[in-house]
Amino acid sequence: MNTLNEAQQKAVETIDGPVLIVAGAGSGKTRVITQRILHLIKTGVAPTNILAITFTNKAAKEMRERVRSLLSSDKSLNLPVSMNERPFISTFHALGVHIIKENARLLSLTRHFTIFDRGDSRRAIKDAMLQCSVDPKKFDPGVILNMISRSKGDGINRLAYFDHANGYTEEITAQIWEKYEIILAKEKALDFDDLLLKTAELLEKYPPVLEHYSEVWKYMHVDEYQDTNKIQYRIVKLLAEKNKNLCVVGDADQNIYSWRGATIENILNFEKDFPNATVITLEKNYRSTKNILAAANNVIEKNTLRKKKTLFTDNDKGEKISLTASYTENDEARSIADTSRSLISSGISPREIAVLYRTNFQSRVLEESFIKKNIPYQLVGVRFFERKEIKDILSYIRAALNRESWSDIGRIINVPTRGIGKATIAKIMAGQSSELPQNMKQKLANFWKLLDDIKKEIAENKPSETVKFVIRETGIEKSMDDGDTENEERVLNMHELVTVALQYDTMGSEDGIESLLSNAALATDQDDLQKNEDAVKLMTVHAAKGLEFDHVFITGMEQDLFPFKHMDASPVSKSEEEEERRLFYVALTRARKKVYLSHTILRTVFGSQRINNPSEFIDDIEKDLIDDRAQEKPSGAKAIFIDF
């Protein structure tokens, strides 16, 4: 407590009633939450009566580890050696999984229900479209899925959507949604959005369920509150209704996810929603230099949808922000790679360098330049659990636990090849197995026996041993023993899954496997960063949220790219303008020591070159904070003809 500043101490010690902690970037919010949890326990609150919710597995893991360290190192607690009670710290979706599993029968589910990932949901939507005689070539299944997903995030279930469907597209979506739900129910499955929607419905429709969790979790904490959507808000409101001991931590200036349903009003209206709330503002930044914070304050103060605050720091003034103008995106990428190589040569670790961009298409030329310069890099966004070989192994485990998960069975019944084709699978799903030839019946019997063996392994052995068993007994690893370099990498990925499973071994056999499957389904882009590869990180600004680096490049600082303007030339609303500015603010505040801004005169977008103006955000920053480099020469001879 002696190391906390005055505002942080107040946030830690104010434990009763609703509390809003407005935490600026780099202000030590995770430290405040973990110290607050420790303080609650030291005042006599049982660890099991404390709930803390955040948004990513990475953030939840870090918080759990910090709390564990604080509890084990604080001698004044005088805890018994056997003490194993801990606060419940998880993501929103993991909380949903926990509540649904404990009440699965109320939803006509089994404890081992399947969680559909995006790919599973898209395939099911496509099947539902075909059942509704809707051509997937005319209606994109991904667009239909997004419409359903957004509705669920807004707390709207299928029946409510059907009642208010307006126009042909919404009416078709309602029909597809009905078939989609039938597919989910048949497979005893929920999709990603159901984990929240069904949780809210359980708490609302079954008073004993709400009463139980209200008694269990008497003190609640919600991190990144500005990123909550309507259904998450409903869950928080329900769980906090009885005890009112709700502490939310967030920053309206870092609300950058409206496109996936996050509502800035949740944090702006907190005092209205929870009367007599205590509001504490954390403005002291422990991350960035004075120059970086001055630039960030310059940018964000133009927004009106915010709770006013001004970040300050005791850190050094630091270097000015570099600004580089390049002719093309190739020249920009070359310049960034050259600067990165110079930084690494000077002794800076590659992992302390990040290159941020507004949209994913910008990564291609950056990757090419880093490859040419032989600079180690990691492209954030290629998820470990999305790799085919990893999904195959997990599908074997899910199918062994849930024989009604036809999406998993369909995925692995012929992996590796067993001579079981789509026509056979269709007959099995239609209940026509008796009509199959005898040799096919034997193949199927062998497959079902394999699933039985895997289920037995799950019950008797640790998760890591189960994963090894699946890799070995299914024949997946053997099928890839052909000397192909890509297959070698796939085998290494499977071995890495064994390493991942090791951390679940202490939880027991079935509980450990359940947690592994849940966390795999809920994994985000940032989770792969846990390996802490010593490589420069390339990622979108959205993916960088919550991370920090010594040196940060922010690329593509051009009008209509950052701030982004939609290709359909539709007018940009005031709220969209402010969110783009918040996004740039987030990008700036990822840096500890140095920020590099860059833009191009020409950029090729969708196959055609366009002439760019520098981003208006550059003009928001005071000139004495910027080191404006001379315009770089193009890397190769080129002629540019502009027809006026």
Residues annotated as catalytic are 29-30, 223-224, 254, 590
User: What secondary structure, in 3-state letters, does 279-297 show?
Assistant: EEEECECCCCCHHHHHHHH
For residues 17 and 278, what is the distance between their CA atoms, to the nearest angstrom? 8
For residues 266 and 308, what is the distance between their CA atoms, to the nearest angstrom? 16
Which residue in this structure is represented by tokens 């407590």?
Answer: 1
Q: Name the residue among 127, 171, 182, 117 with its Cα closest to residue 149.
A: 117
For residues 507 and 519, what is the distance between their CA atoms, to the nearest angstrom? 14
Query: Quick check: 230 and 155 in contact, CB under 8 A?
Result: yes
Tell me which DSSP letter residue 475 carries. S
Task: List, as one string, the DSSP characters of 15-53.
Answer: -SS-EEEEE-TTS-HHHHHHHHHHHHHHTT--GGGEEEE
β-sheet with 536-540: strand ranges across: 377-379, 536-540, 353-357, 549-554, 591-600, 321-326, 626-628
For residues 504 and 236, what is the distance between their CA atoms, to the nearest angstrom? 28
Going by DSSP bridges, is the β-strand pair 602-605/608-611 parallel, antiparallel, or unpaired?
antiparallel
For residues 354 and 336, what is the distance between their CA atoms, to the nearest angstrom? 10
For residues 248 and 225, what is the distance between their CA atoms, to the nearest angstrom? 6
Tell me the residue type at 110: T
Q: Which two tokens stand for residue 530?
A: 């846990």
269 Cβ contact partners less than 8 Å away, ≥ 6 residues apart: none
